[in-house]
Amino acid sequence: MKLTKFGHACVRLEEDGRRLVIDPGGLTDPEALDGAEAVLVTHEHFDHFAEDMLRRAAAARPGLRIWTNSCVANKLDGIGRQVATTGDGDAFSAAGFDIRVHGTWHAVIHPDIPRIRNIGFMVDGTLFHPGDALTVPDAPVGTLLLPVHAPWSTVGDLIDYVREVAPRDTYAVHDGALNDVGTAMVAGFLDERGPGLPGHYRRLTPGASVQVG
């Protein structure tokens, strides 16, 4: 499976000519959706969900399918059968990839800020994108896409999360608000210089790809 990072929280997965995109948001280059057969959206925040971009893609490609939670699906009202609502515990096929859904809620930012729905996606039983939450799936994870910078987490939270999930490989996502100093600081705690994590940690630059699975 080929994993390509498209800025901040968006990735594209490709295998045997099939393309699946996760979380194309307002910080994502629209080319991430080129040739995509299916899209998964974890939640409604702008950096994960760009309504206009998805509407244009759906209009241009009637075969494009979008899976997301009920809140996002409601915002895409009018697209019809191209949008499917899913939630924790569901399983389905998207662009030929086997998907299982884990989690229900966005991480807590502050008690005074209402929580929203958030779902994570396990792809082909090996790669997990948690969206904006530190959800621990009830199944082994080979490749974890780790949200390394957010107002709802600390580096200590990330270390404990990766230790609990225990993936073979961890790749940074959700890093669009970090400059070079910030990404280096985070890496210093999460790679071999840090206190110790299972597997290997790596950050892909936007547009870079790697084989996973």
Reported as a single tens digit per residue, the pLDDT across 26-85 is: 999 999 999 999 999 999 999 999 999 999 999 999 999 999 999 999 999 989 899 999
Which residue's entry shows tokens 């892909």? 204
- pLDDT of 7 reads 84
DSSP helix/strand/coil, 179: coil
| Domain ranges within the chain, ordered by starting residue | 2-211
List the structure tokens of 6.
């498209």
- pLDDT of 196 reads 87
Provide the CATH number for the domain formed by 2-211 in this structure.
3.60.15.10
- pLDDT of 213 reads 82
Query: Any alpha helices (H) in 36-166, and if so which ranges?
Result: 51-60, 70-75, 155-165
Average pLDDT over residues 143-164: 97
Which residue's entry shows tokens 């206009």? 52
- pLDDT of 25 reads 97
If you ran DSSP here, which 8-state letter would residue 190 be given? H
